[in-house]
Structure 1
């Protein structure tokens, strides 16, 4: 069988190892496994979400207009419902963007190390992938590459996954003044709830950006702060002409009935989100202090994870050692980095992580 030749150059996305696989491979009891690899909310989702889901509706297709969720998001962000598209995770909307702008010679530009799906979707459509020399978001390098290569799509991950650094809103605005209106600029705000809490200068206002820059698309998700990773609900916010074009490649019923119910309810409980984010940064301080005390380098993070690196560790060896003891973290060797990413867990989970890391470092 002959497959699309572009697949030869595409590496499959490396998701966090599931708990069930660790149970099978290492014979560890499920309740003894801690998964801190995929940046899920360790506190789960709002209790109000659990009360809102109606299992008896699972035989029914969702209302494909998603009007209630769009209205909720519109009120939350100060935009109109017509400015919003719903996706099965925000990564589905990334694919919509590339599909919509697909043409011969399509080019995309992103940071040297960032969310892998930008490049995977681009290569799937035969696009050229341009990366900045720096791993993190160096906007001077972005601008230089833009002026040289004129990419069709620019991806800014704000904050950046998997590293955790974050551009400031005014830096992005200044950058956008140099970008032609025919170039789509995607601001991926999957972790924006965390960044906005930690530093208001990092806060992106989708309403302000799409009003001022008609070529901007903002992405958000319910997978992180809202604790709905398993429900797969994301959204895009842009001016109406962009949303209309994206809808032309969206399949009907692209999220489930129960996912829709969960997202509508989760959005309403901002008090729960605030409490989770507050606990996240209280625990992150412990990770920063542990790293400093043990000679481990880290990237200051504006997300719900932290990236450890440096000569004190050998990431692949350490990640495997932790895995054999029932702790799943994310090795970044696939990015050609000697680094690993840890989701910030609960106090109890983190107590165990620090004890294991101390044991490993003491060997």
Structure 2
């Protein structure tokens, strides 16, 4: 059977290993597995959100409200935008897919940082587009601008904070970059981890309303999968000028977000205390990772997210470390697929983090 030839060259996105797979492969009791690979909130979701979902479980036979008016209204109140400036997706990555289908045709190109969220490249390549990458671990905006002038891409992706490294650009640098971009080039500012960055450093904080009011060619992406702890519900959103949103709606399938997902997202937005406490605890626990890295001479990328990246050059091989930890029931993300000898670790609960430190210390001391 013949398929679109571009599929042959696509790399399959590899998510963090699920607990169920580790149970099957290694026979480890689920309660002994520590999952620190998928940047989930270790506190889970808001108890209030969990309760309203449980109370509404009997509604799952009904199609969701396809207007999504309640969630849109809550987001509009949160960000000071209008309902015509927002689109809801099954995760923010679905909106990335919409954007690629909307803009990439006839030999199109995208521009991104060399090490960033893998789905930008996958969705773009699926549309037959070329992918231009600015070299380096972090977003080098000067290099990106040179490549922009040379290649004239249809879409530019900026991940702030960046996944999988955790670094984050200052807002002023992002705005100075976008000011130089032609209005027909779409600039995607992916703020999946913005709740963490804005808590840690106001210079990193992005106000979506301000951004799209300044730049009509820009879309801001947000998600409920990280700080809000709703990764399993798959809810994301895009905020942009009305003419961009109107075009994206033509690509949105009906009922793309479930009834229970919408209910959970609305309630989660109300529980700001839960989110703030989760972020506060995350950065408190992250200090232990920084201290551990300093003790063993591991290079750390300063993180503005709920994960931290250990560069293992001169220390050990990231594949060996990740696999050895996995056999002990500790799941981390090996970044070898990104061309890095590094591992990415989600900041977990204190006892989960200690499990990692104990196992990692033994590996570094014994090499096995």
Give the alignment's TM-score, normalised by structure 2: 0.98
CA distance in 1, matches of 2:244, 2:115: 27
Q: How many Å apart are 1:177 and its aligned residue?
A: 1.1
SS in 2 for 1:118: helix
Rounded Cα–Cα distance in structure 2 between residues aligned with 1:356 and 1:90: 34
Contact 1:195 1:202 in 2 (8 A): yes
Aligned partners of 2:295 and 2:104: how far apart in 1? 49
Partner of 1:48: 48
User: Paired residue for 1:320?
Assistant: 323
Work out whether residues 221 and 235 of structure 1, in 8 Å CA contact, stay in contact via their aligned partners in 2.
Answer: yes
Map 1:20-169 to 2 at 5 A: 20-53=20-53, 54-169=56-171
Contact 1:189–1:218 (Cα < 8 Å) also in 2: yes
Q: Secondary structure of 1:58's partner? A: helix
Looking at structure 2, the residues matched to 205 and 211 of structure 1 have their Cα atoms a distance apart, in angstroms, of 10
List runs of 5+ in structure 1 lacking aligned partners. none
CA–CA distance in structure 2, aligned partners of residues 341 and 216 of structure 1: 29
Question: CA contact under 8 A between 1:108 and 1:130: conserved in structure 2?
Answer: yes
Report how far residue 82 of structure 1 moved. 1.2
Secondary structure of 2:61 counterpart: coil
Q: 2:167–2:304: 8 Å Cα contact kept in structure 1?
A: yes
Q: Report the CA distance between 1:239 and its aligned residue.
A: 0.5
Aligned partner of residue 189 in structure 2, secondary structure: strand
**C-alpha distance in 2 between matches for 1:151 and 1:315:** 34
Q: Which residue of the partner structure matches residue 311 of structure 1?
A: 314
Q: Distance in 2 between matches of 1:172 and 1:305?
A: 22
Give the Cα–Cα distance (whole angstroms) in 2 for the partners of residues 133 and 13 of structure 1. Answer: 21
Contact 2:104 2:154 in 1 (8 A): no
Residue 357 of structure 2 corresponds to residue 354 of structure 1: yes
One of 226, 233, 244 as aligned partner of 1:242: 244
- Does 2:280 match 1:274? no
CA contact 2:293–2:299 (8 Å) conserved in 1: yes
Distance in 2 (alpha carbons) for counterparts of 1:37 and 1:350: 12
Q: CA deviation at 1:356?
A: 0.7
CA distance in 2, matches of 1:133, 1:361: 30
**Partner SS for 2:252:** coil
Distance 1:342 1:150 in 2: 36
For the Cα contact (< 8 Å) 1:37–1:342, is it kept in 2?
Answer: yes
Q: Does 1:343 align with 2:346?
A: yes
Conserved 8 A contact 2:104-2:124: no
| TM-score for both structures, normalised by structure 1 | 0.99
Q: How far has the Cα of 1:313 moved from its partner?
A: 2.4
Show CA shifts across 1:215-247 (max 9, x none): 000000000000000000000000000000000
Does the 8 Å contact 1:225/1:273 carry over to 2?
yes
Q: Distance in 2 between matches of 1:313 and 1:228?
A: 34
Contact 2:188 2:221 in 1 (8 A): yes
Equivalent residues, number: 363
C-alpha offsets along residues 295-337 of structure 1, whole Å, 9 cap, x if unaligned?
1111000000000012112100000000000000000011111
> 2:260, 2:190 → 1: CA distance?
25
Cα distance in 2 for partners of 1:301, 1:44 equals 21
Give 1:103 shift. 1.6
| Contact persistence 1:304–1:343 (CA under 8 A) | yes
Secondary structure, counterpart of 1:8 in structure 2: helix
Shift in Å, 1:51: 1.2
Query: Partners in 1 of 2:103 and 2:272 — Cα distance?
Result: 35
Residue 135 of structure 1, CA deviation: 2.6
Q: CA deviation at 1:87?
A: 0.2
Write out per-residue CA displacement over residues 13-72 of structure 1, whole angstroms, 9 at most, x where no aligned residue.
011011000000100000110111010001100000011111100001110000010010
Q: Is the 8 A contact 1:296 1:313 kept in 2?
A: no
Tell me if the contact between 2:221 and 2:239 (Cα under 8 Å) persists in the aligned partners.
yes
